[in-house]
A and B are shown apart, each in its own frame.
Chain A
Amino acid sequence: MAENENRDLKNRDLKDDLFELICFMLSSARGLMDEPKAYGPFRIIDSVSRLISILEKHQLADDFLVREKKKIEEGKYSVMDGEDKFREFLDGLMVDFAEELKKR
């Protein structure tokens, strides 16, 4: 397969993946109108994880993002253990991202 064709195929995949993420986020937005308050931050953090997965699939994610995605997947269900635990989990992620932001 020519290099250009290869790139087209990959881009088409990326477009599909992003389109699906958009559908997910739109469904979340509509759903959140009627869902408990804690679902809001959960849906956003779930979207972040899905976005990093797409970047990872297309070799666009760096080590930091891959590491953080793992952390998100391990900790996102703390939403079920109460607001305090989930807040602590989100704070931890924010500290990681702020430190990374400072370095970049």
Chain B
Amino acid sequence: MSSIFDVIKKRRSIRRFQRRAIEDEKIRQLLEAAIWAPSAGNHQPWVFIAVRDPKSIEKIKVVSPGIFDIPAAIIVVCRDMRIAEKAGNPELSIFDIAMASQNMLLMAYELGLGSCPVKSFNQKAIQVLLDLPEHIVPELLITLGYPAEEPSPRERRDGVIFFEKYGHKQG
């Protein structure tokens, strides 16, 4: 098993996938990783839909300009707005689903899968295609598959880490 730091540093956004199905067990592990994310007030305002049917994937792709290849599966990460609003500050739920999504991206790497978070998709169209009720709002697609590419690490931006006060670079 890799160390968590290795997984964090080696994960890449994978946009090209092999034509190979993902084992159901791996999808279940990803979803399990998602629901163990931190959540403000433990409201867990999320809903995850795992789409594996190739025809449905093809249709999602048509309304998702951010998907460039045909993934083996897509996890549609949604906010349950009834829960998010009941919690008092619906904006906080965005952080919750972001943390759940990161759990899935890291878990995917650990399981030998490639993944990419995709925000460029049409929310209304996804709601129609997946029969989502109005209060279940799709916020992010996570495309998944066995990688068909090995992207190089992209440069990290300098000057973003300080100690004690803004501008103090030495710890």
Contact = CB atoms under 8 A, between A and B. Distances in A.
B71 to A, nearest CB: 16
Interface in B61-86: 62-66, 68
Contacts of B62: 20, 23-24, 27
The B interface is mostly helix, strand or loop, or mixed, namely loop
A103 to B, nearest CB: 32
Nearest to A42: B65
B18 interface: no
A97 B65 CA distance: 25
Contacts of B120: 31, 35, 39
B146 interface: no
Interface residues of B, number: 10
A22 B120 CA distance: 16
Contacts of B121: 27, 31
The bracket for how many chain A residues form the interface is 10 to 19
27 contacts: A20-B62, A23-B62, A23-B63, A23-B125, A24-B62, A24-B63, A24-B65, A26-B122, A27-B62, A27-B63, A27-B64, A27-B65, A27-B121, A27-B122, A27-B125, A28-B65, A30-B122, A31-B65, A31-B66, A31-B120, A31-B121, A31-B122, A35-B120, A39-B120, A43-B65, A46-B65, A46-B68
Interface of A: 20, 23-24, 26-28, 30-31, 35, 39, 43, 46
Interface of B: 62-66, 68, 120-122, 125
Given A24-B62, A30-B122, A46-B65, 14 more contacts: A20-B62, A23-B63, A24-B63, A26-B122, A27-B62, A27-B63, A27-B65, A27-B121, A27-B122, A27-B125, A28-B65, A31-B66, A31-B121, A46-B68
Shortest beta-carbon contacts, A-B, top 6: A27-B122, A27-B63, A23-B62, A28-B65, A20-B62, A31-B120
